[in-house]
Amino acid sequence: MNCAVAIQYLPMDAVSDEETCRVVDAVIAYIDSTGLDYYVGPFETTIEGSYDECMEVLKNCQLVGAQVGAGT
């Protein structure tokens, strides 16, 4: 089953706009690395793929954000 998922990743604990951009850029770089079709819009990034692929990417976006410092 194919689907599209819109993701808005906003680290709520970022202390500056630069920090927010750094974390969001890392999450978008991860999405790019998956090979799925995606579109970065002004408020969200949309990914397209199978349901299982999209859910795996969604889960990993949280992990990537944490790895680069969001929530610490």
Q: How far apart are CA 39 and CA 62, in angstroms?
A: 18
pLDDT in tens, 25-42: 999 999 999 999 999 999
Q: How far apart are CA 34 and CA 68, in angstroms?
A: 18
pLDDT in tens, 2-27: 999 999 998 887 778 888 889 999 99
Percentage of the chain lying above the pLDDT 70 cut: 97
Sheet of 2-7: strand order equals 2-7, 45-50, 37-40
Residue 25: the pLDDT is: 94
Residue 8: the pLDDT is: 93
Tokens, residue 38: 């995606």
Residue 72: the pLDDT is: 60
